[in-house]
Structure 1
Amino acid sequence: MPSVPSSSAGRSAPPAGVATTVEEVGEFGVIARVVAALPQPAATTLLGPGDDCAVLAAPDGRVVTSVDVLVDGVHFRSDWATGEQIGRRAALAAMSDVAAMGAVPTALLVGLAAPGTTDAGLLQQIGAGLSAAAAEVGADVVGGDVTSAPVLMISVTVIGTLGGVAPVLRSGAGVGDVVALTGRIGWAAAGLAVLTRGFRSPAAAVGAYRVPEPPLAQGPVAAVTGATAMIDVSDGLLADLGHIADASGVAIDLRSRALTVPARLLEVGSALGKDPMTWLLTGGDDHPLAATFPDTASVPEGWTVIGRVSAGAGVTVDGATYEGDAGWDHFRSGR
């Protein structure tokens, strides 16, 4: 990947003699710096950071949980984003999985691994970004771990509550259901294409790659209004709808005309010689939600019907097999 100027260039220099790297600060120094910035716990957090474990309330009697692992150079680049942006991205990506089950995020556990030469301030900023994103939906960062590694890595375990509703699985789509989508799509893929070329504009596309805007509140809404299956679109719309099709034993056909390419992405596509529809169909990292519903009447406001479920297998576009990669696969794809 081409290099771009480091986003750390704008940080204020620490006073002379003050420890600045992870090696100098030490494991517990890093933890202390990150924890010091955390807000007061929400009602569901009975005991936060500082002990061997956190203690959480589970008023629903059930806990929804998932884990995301992000690696510098694979899921993000620390020279393309600030620490706070990286932290927000990590938290939002993890919480989107909980939303896709129809649940509300309540707590995050974070593992940070980094080379000893890493700026300790960067990890502190990552912690601040994680905490800020969690707080926006009423969740807490309740604990975690810090260790050394050859490359910067972030592991986020997210915990959520279903609030009395049944979880929405990938396996519930039925023949005759409609497929709907909510949230921004294609923007992050366009931003990645721009950054890979060595540019940092347009800001809207680059910003979408740095920090997603998953529609977290729409997951529980869809669950209440009758979603039969749902998924977080992290690796590409076709690839992730393929998971629903496989789990449900059905076929899904998308209508390309239902996916509107924003004017800004048309401009970016023209400048880079790319078909922007490819970004909408196969690009990841925006984390919109895709779901199936029994009929159009049950599709909530803010969702767009983009296809239909039928008997068969696989995902098609306008009735035809899509030519090319359907999305991102960490062990098969290359950037």
Structure 2
Amino acid sequence: MISAFKTVAATCVALLPLGALPAVAQETIPITIGAGLPPHSNSVARIIDYVIPEIDRRLAENGNYKIEWTTGWSGTIAGQFDMFEAVQDGIIDIGSVNTLFEGAKLPMEQITYVTPFGGNDLVKTMEIFDKVRAELPELDEQFLRFNQRRLGVGGLVDYHLLSTFEIKTLEDLQGKKFGTPGLAANWLDGTGATPVAGSLSEYYNSLKTGVYDGIVIFESGIAPFKFHEVAPIITRVGFGSQLTTNLTINEDKWQSLPEEVQNILVEVGAEYENKATEGTIALATKSLETAVAEGAKINDMEPGEVAKLAAALPNIATLWAKSIDDKGLPGTKMLETYMQMSRDAGITFARDWDKE
């Protein structure tokens, strides 16, 4: 009787419709993601409109995992100056880190900021930096020392001077105060201007109240942050394309993730670089057009004056490289590699920073 019962039971199970079988449970993974900048900033906008939905879409296709996102933009969880530490400590799992403010902890990430007056082809700059990164593993090791890893890098097309006064010659900078981000302060060294460390979140009020006479600003940030309302003169000097932001993930969080999720994060992080670059280039053009339409004036500094401005600087690149060498990192090697790869790509600098 028992044997017969087992046979009947097995037959009944075999006849059950497929939908009646127990479904495999989908695992929900909580991830906190944030940025110090607001949603209209290009790097943040691409996270919101591409990174998050694309990760969700790919996970949904496989059906094994789902992410429960907690978001914090505009510094609601951590500000621009605190984001790197917030990711390091796990307060935020994934963060848009403004690496230009982390010169002490991420010195090698600053290479473009110590080699100004190069090209303004951001696509080329990104490609060159990826090649340099492939040759120098120390670049990624920097992040791991602070309990995080890179998912993608973002940059800016070009930096210029935005001011409340006309700038035609190097002498016009004498005695003026400029808000500057990170190592961009070095771009005014020896010019007679006074750089003041600042950030996007406080530039507007500082210009409006006269704390600054101008700012060193990237093209795509002028109109979105309405800086031209309080400093309507844009002087294009061509400091060049810069790498500014990294999307990073806390290493402990990374190690806790299933391989499938890790792979998708890597894939989407690489695509984020392209999306952010495309967005920045489009936004830079639109930003200048909008600023002019709303009353701003664009002046192009004469090439001879740009050359004088570049020549007024100390060799900030070799000084930087030596300081990196002294820390046991390949600063000189990185400078030489980056400059040579740039030349090979057809980029001409106002100064041969690595050869002086």
**Normalization by structure 1: what TM-score?**
0.29
Structure number with bigger Rg: 2
- Structure with greater helix share of residues: 2
